[in-house]
Amino acid sequence: MPRKSTRLTFAVLATGAGVFSMLQSLIAPALPTVQHELHTSQATATWVMTAYLLSASVFTPILGRVGDLIGKKRTLVAVLVTVMVGCLIAALAPTIGVLIVARVVQGIGGALFPLSFGIIRDEFAASRVSPSISNLSAVIAAGGGVGMVAAGPIVSALDYRWLFWLPVGVVAVTTLIAVRYVPESPRRAEGRVNWLGAGLLSAWLVALLLPLSQASRWGWGSARVIGLFAAAVVLFVLWLLSEARSRSPLIDLRVMRLPAVWTTNTAALLFGAGMYSIWTFLPGFVQTPGSAGYGFGASVTESGLLMLPMLVAMFFSGILSGRLEPVVGAKKLLVTGAALGAVACGFLALWHDEQWQVAFVAGVFGLGIGLAFASMANLIVGSVPAEQTGAATGMNANIRTIGGSVGAAVTSVLVTGHLQPSGLPEASGYTHGFALLALLCLAAALAALLVPVQHVRRIAGAPRATGAQALAGPDQKSVTPEESVTPGVRR
């Protein structure tokens, strides 16, 4: 049985992960204000987003693995303190350089996702693992929506610095509660952190994501972009060799090759491309002046309100996913979520002349996000040994982020490829971009169809269990066929 209140533990995990997810999108609508207030260029201001992305990509899988090794609660508290410090530095930042450093520090909070999933698997009763993961995924998904909706009113009523002051207080209280009430993990993986693997993982992620985020300014054919892509390939191969030969790999490649893991990660890559691109380009579309032949000339606050249906839908569908998963299975929910994303983007490419149309389509996409987020997390958690939960879910989050970077970069090429004399994109750029996102989400649904159905033995008199519930069992001890071949696992 759980040693502490699981409700309080869940509240801590949801608050921490929700705040990080909110910080991911909260600053984006305020970038023009930041640029003006700190007297910098647009190109420099975009590093406020890029630095956060790169930092989160590097630290999410590494600290997920550290939590597996030294204790998830200990690592969780350290990460929460780091996020609080990052928000405090950002709120006080006198220059754009200090703000960018603060965003790097905040990005370490990406580890809250895998740590939270791991704590749920360790501490919650078997019957509550899958619904709790679904609920947490709903909070994570909704957090990004809250950031887009809340940024405008906060900046208008207060100041952009309050985008960071408010999280300081919330994270400080959350940290104190975590120290007192969140129990330490009973399971630990044996071994140590493979620092060579961690360094190579960091290097190839930066070499891949940096040119994707900056290619529109540097030029796709520039020496910097081509050189970094080439370096990413070389570093990726070296990382694979390092992990394969290590007795204590950062990411166990045998776990990554499990059918349920690689198929779910493929779907995450493709769906992430569509999801992050919608978050990036739909607000810009509705803020475009009507004189361009499309768009509504909406303010930052008004564009956030048009995204509100997405926020509400993704939260409630994520919660609903936890109730549906024992009945229909996580695989079907992932297929449905990705398909809803494809339908939404397809309609958006053809159907965007009125604000209510955009709001309706945003709501449909939100339904898809809620279902997909929750089911991906459950599929990963339910397919790997308990001692690999942090690293495996961290990589899943990372792969989704990589997909988002690729999708945003390609969509940017389509949107900005042909400009009007006013400098605004042609309407065809957006319609082609939305059509591409529909195809990516459709491909994610097809990839999800490849996820193997998990067959589990039902215990007499017990409710049907799937995914993590079945693997955890009545005594919460995870047993998988692959666990016997996973190195560095203490049994």
Q: How far, in Å, CA of 487 to CA of 385, rounded?
A: 11
Average per-residue pLDDT in the chain?
A: 84
Q: Is the pLDDT of residue 315 over 60?
A: yes
Highest mean pLDDT among 15-19, 279-283, 421-425: 15-19
Tokens matching residue 452: 């193997």
| CA distances to 138, 206, 378, 444 from 177, in Å | 22, 34, 26, 38
Q: Is the pLDDT of residue 421 over 70?
A: yes
For residue 417, list its beta bridge partners. none
Mean pLDDT of 414-421: 84
Q: What 3-state class would DSSP assign to 489?
A: strand
Q: How far, in Å, CA of 399 to CA of 378, rounded?
A: 16
Sign of CA dihedral 89, 56, 375, 131: negative
Mean pLDDT of 171-187: 88
Sign of CA dihedral 356, 357, 360, 361: negative
Q: Is the pLDDT of residue 433 over 70?
A: yes
Residue corresponding to tokens 């992305």? 53
Long-range contacts, stretch 46-52, CB < 8 angstroms, 24+ apart: 46/213, 47/96, 47/100, 48/96, 48/99, 48/100, 48/103, 49/103, 49/213, 50/210, 50/213, 50/214, 51/100, 51/101, 51/103, 51/104, 51/107, 52/23, 52/24, 52/27, 52/103, 52/104, 52/106, 52/107
pLDDT at residue 1 in the model: 38
Q: Is the pLDDT of residue 296 over 50?
A: yes
Q: Is the pLDDT of residue 186 over 90?
A: no
pLDDT at residue 275 in the model: 87
Each residue's pLDDT tens digit, 41-84:
877 887 888 888 888 888 888 888 888 888 899 999 999 999 99
Q: Is the pLDDT of residue 478 over 70?
A: no
The percentage of the chain sitting over the pLDDT mark of 90, rounded to a whole number, equals 35
Tokens matching residue 11: 């509240």
Confidence of residue 254 (pLDDT cuts 50, 70, 90): confident
Tell me the CA end-to-end span of the chain in Å, nearest whole number.
Answer: 19
Confidence of residue 121 (pLDDT cuts 50, 70, 90): confident
The percentage of the chain sitting over the pLDDT mark of 70, rounded to a whole number, equals 91
pLDDT at residue 477 in the model: 37
pLDDT at residue 342 in the model: 96
pLDDT at residue 491 in the model: 32
Confidence of residue 486 (pLDDT cuts 50, 70, 90): very low
- Contacting residues for 366 by C-beta, under 8 A, at least 6 apart: 145, 309, 310, 311, 312, 313, 314, 317
- Contacting residues for 179 by C-beta, under 8 A, at least 6 apart: 77
Confidence of residue 476 (pLDDT cuts 50, 70, 90): very low
With 0-12 / 13-18 / 19 or more C-beta atoms within 10 angstroms meaning exposed / middle / buried, residue 460 is exposed
Q: What 3-state class would DSSP assign to 425?
A: strand
pLDDT at residue 475 in the model: 35
Each residue's pLDDT tens digit, 364-385:
999 999 999 889 988 998 888 8
For residue 148, list its beta bridge partners. none
Confidence of residue 164 (pLDDT cuts 50, 70, 90): very high
Q: Is the pLDDT of residue 321 over 50?
A: yes
Angle value at C-alpha 103, between 99 and 108, nearest 5 degrees: 155
pLDDT at residue 485 in the model: 37
Residue 245 neighbours by CB distance under 10 Å: 11
Q: Is the pLDDT of residue 241 over 80?
A: yes
Nearest to 365 by CA among 327, 443, 313: 313
Mean pLDDT of 472-483: 37
Confidence of residue 459 (pLDDT cuts 50, 70, 90): very low
Confidence of residue 472 (pLDDT cuts 50, 70, 90): very low
Lowest mean pLDDT of 195-209, 328-342, 391-405, name the range: 391-405
Q: How far, in Å, CA of 21 to CA of 144, rounded?
A: 5
The single-letter code of the amino acid at 324 is L
Residue corresponding to tokens 């890029």? 50
SS (H, E, C) 177-233: HHHHHCCCCCCCECCCCCHHHHHHHHHHHHHHHHHHHHHHHHCCCCHHHHHHHHHHH
Mean pLDDT of 205-222: 85
